[in-house]
Amino acid sequence: MEGLMPESPDFEQIAKRIASAIPSAITRGLVELEVAEQLRVIWNARGASDIAQLEAILTGLMGSTAAGPYVKNLDRALRRLDR
């Protein structure tokens, strides 16, 4: 499927690249930690939004009772991708 990432991005590596222009090693380290954490927050919020959208679509197509097991399995599968 187009647009799907096989795994979570390397947030620490991204943060290290972003913070590399900071001359102070102590400040750079703190910035790296904060940037990595904020990237994780964004990534998890995006996943939660995707799950909610899938649930709404399936519920609209199948009704909440019929869609329930599918939503649960999809939720579990999407969350497993981030491990």
* pTM of the full structure: 0.64
3-state class of 20 per DSSP?
Answer: coil
Place of tokens 């994780």: 40
pLDDT for 80 equals: 78
Q: How far apart are CA 19 and CA 63, in angstroms?
A: 48
Q: How far apart are CA 33 and CA 15, in angstroms?
A: 7
pLDDT tens string for the chain (83 positions)? 455 555 778 999 999 999 998 999 889 999 999 999 999 999 888 888 888 888 899 999 999 888 888 888 888 887 777 66
Closest to 46 measured CA to CA, from 6, 1, 10, 82: 82
Instruction: State the DSSP code for 81.
Output: T
